[in-house]
Structure 1
Amino acid sequence: MAVGEKAPDGAGTAGDGEGAVRPGRPFWRELPMMLVLALVLALVVKTFVAQAFLIPSDSMRDTLRRGDRVVVDKLTSWSGAEPRRGEVVVFHDPADWLHGQPTAQPNLAQHVLITIGLMPSVNERVLVKRTIAIGGDTVECKKGGPVVVNGEELYEPYIRPGDTACDDAPFGPLTVPEGTIWVMGDHRQNSRDSRYHADDHTRGFVPVDDVVGRAVVIAWPVGRWSTLPDGFDPPVSDSR
């Protein structure tokens, strides 16, 4: 339409009819839906992707310390991948390993934050240890010697200084059943790990199905922030 021409009857102008720009909904009306979506997203992330956990003991010193908060990768477990030798894993108590240990009781606010994954869990019956051997491996440790997997001596720089590889509880040789792992703490003389549960119905082996995921990073406190290794260095040779 040329400049100066009269608009034909029925033509819309700004603010009228189909061409009108409708005002947006007030923010306070959108807020509840945004909060619901945020909570759903947090629950999805906690269930399938990652979750924070509180380290309750010193069994993994000096790699992990009591009070550290670690982020656990759960996506790898959901995809069907099994733990690798050397990984630090969080797993559900396989045979009442935590018998007699008190369970923290969070308040209502903490319970909500734990539920949506915004606060580390303090009341789940889970443990954190290092994967030493996987299904099919032969593992042993004699007093005064190193841990040996598939005939290879492990290089274990993560063991707490002053500790020995297994002098408090030598074991093996034994073969790890398929679908399970053999775990040990880095603070060897202060870790009730697989070595101490040979009389349990699992014989000290942790079913892979009980593994929540791999601890990938120390997220808190800030001064302790660091990533965690995902395997042995150097790796153990695979004899299978």
Structure 2
Amino acid sequence: MGDVAVGARSDADGPERRAGDEPVERGEEPTAEPDGGEDTADVTDRKQQRSFLKELPLLIGIALILALLIKTFLMQAFSIPSDSMQNTLQRGDRVLVDKLTPWFGAEPERGEVVVFHDPGGWLDESTQSDPGGIAGAFQEFMSFIGLMPSAEEQDLIKRVIAVGGDTVACEKNGPVTVNGKALDEESYIYPGSTPCGSEGFGPVKVPEGRIWVMGDNRQNSLDSRFHQDLEGNGTVPVDDVVGRAVVKAWPIDRWGTLPVPDTFEEKGLAAAPAAMGLAGAIPLVLWRRRRRAAEAARAAAPRDGA
């Protein structure tokens, strides 16, 4: 007799509802605490933690794959190991290298700072560092995904001075010339450096598909000048170029871009190929003029004899 039916009721349906009784809405069940009196919020938090731990390996895997793809196709960080590019780059600087544009056929241009593999004989094997042990394995893994510079790959960083087809030279105590035009390098070479270093070089004709590179610290850079006894007369194959250094990313107070100096944008720097084209065009024009003159003479011959 004490049970109360669910739903509306009238006074005739039974005893009057006691004060404090509230009707239970249809379909709603009373909330009961889990066994042992455990709070529902604690159970939910534990479930979320277990779900996160299950997803964590997947998230790490995706992050590593993305890092590897970025390193392979887009950007890679490199550490500056020496003083050969002062003051543009200091020892310990981190630069970001654009690896995307070479995939679309872009080749290094004059004035760019590029990272390239040792073409052979430029670096002494004694310069290689192998930390070994756990530290070595960690660095190898981090360099594989592009988050640290490699301890095994021997890469160099220099500025492109001349490209395939150019003639580069420098007389002692004189400026560097490309295709006979002197470069104004005061804005980027190390203060106190002379453009050629202690001695001059060249002229050197840069083969197609190769580049001539020099460090900005001319008195402290073993660049193309010092490897002219090797294949290519000290030039570097374009295929060995990893990419162009575009940004100084670390330390923060040295952040900045690495633009091409104005001297490489001046007109006439690539005058040699244009002059060669003009020299080749002159004989062609003369030949065509002689041919037209001969044709005109043959066309006029019957009229003269008529």
Compute the TM-score of the two structures, normalised by the length of structure 2: 0.68
Indicate whether 1:123 and 2:164 are aligned: no
The aligned counterpart of 1:209 is: 239
1:144 alignment partner, one of 173, 186, 194: 173
Cα gap change, 1:161 to 1:235, in 2 (>3 Å): same
SS of the counterpart of 2:57?
Answer: helix
- Alignment-mate amino acid for residue 177 of structure 1: P
Q: Which has the higher contact order (CA 8 A, sep 6+)?
A: 1
Q: How far did residue 76 of structure 1 move?
A: 1.3
Equivalent residue number for residue 220 of structure 1: 250
Checking the alignment, whether the CA contact within 8 Å between 2:248 and 2:256 is kept in structure 1 is yes
1:180 partner letter = R
Q: Does 1:99 align with 2:124?
A: yes
Q: Give the % identical residues.
A: 59
- Which has more helix, going by share of residues? 2
**TM-align CA RMSD:** 1.9
Specify the code of the residue in structure 1 equivalent to 2:142: L
C-alpha change, 1:212 and 1:99, in structure 2 (3 Å) is same
Q: Deviations over 1:32-64 (max 9, x none)?
A: 222111111110110111111111111111111
Q: Provide, for residues 117-136 of structure 1, a one-character-per-residue CA deviation record: whole Å limited to 9, x for no partner.
A: 12233432010000000001
What is aligned with 1:20?
Answer: none
Task: Select 1:67's aligned residue among 92, 107, 110.
Answer: 92
Residue 230 of structure 1: how far off its partner (Å):
3.4
Which of 55, 61, 64 does residue 36 from structure 1 map onto?
61
Q: Secondary structure at the match of 2:168?
A: strand
TM-aligned CA distance change 1:33 to 1:100, over 3 Å: closer
Larger radius of gyration between Structure 1 and Structure 2:
2
Per the TM alignment, residue 231 of structure 1 is displaced from its structure 2 partner at its CA by 5.1
Alignment coverage as a number of residue pairs: 219
Tell me by how many angstroms 1:168 deviates: 1.7
Match of 2:213 among 179, 183, 188: 183
| CA displacement, residues 156-211 of structure 1 (integer Å, 9 cap, x when unaligned) | 12110001000423111121110000000000011110000111123201000000
How much has 1:100 moved relative to structure 2?
4.2
Name stretches of at least 5 consecutive residues in structure 2 with no aligned partner. 1-46, 274-306
TM-score (norm 1): 0.85
Contact map agreement 1:61 1:186 (CA 8 A) in 2: yes
Q: Distance in 1 between matches of 2:219 and 2:118?
A: 20
How far apart, in 1, do the equivalents of 2:150 and 2:97 lie?
12
2:73 is the counterpart of 1:48 = yes
Matched, 1:238 2:260: no
Q: Does the 8 Å CA contact 2:173/2:199 hold for their aligned counterparts?
A: no
Question: How far does the alpha carbon of each residue in 1:91-142 deviate from its partner, in whole angstroms, 9 at most, with x for none?
Answer: 0001220024421224222222211112233432010000000001111100
2:104 aligned residue (76, 79, 97): 79
Please report how far the alpha carbon of residue 235 of structure 1 lies from its aligned counterpart in structure 2 after TM superposition.
1.6
Would you say the 8 A contact 1:72–1:216 is kept in 2?
A: yes
- One-letter code aligned to 2:107: E
Counterpart of 1:135 in structure 2: which amino acid? G
* The one of 100, 111, 135 aligned to 2:140: 111
Which whole-Å CA distance do the structure 1 matches of 2:222 and 2:259 have between them? 22
Decide whether the 8 Å contact of 1:94 with 1:202 is kept in 2: no
Contact 2:110 2:264 in 1 (8 A): no
**Quick one: distance in 2 between partners of 1:123 and 1:218?**
23
More strand by share: 1
1:70 aligned counterpart, secondary structure: strand
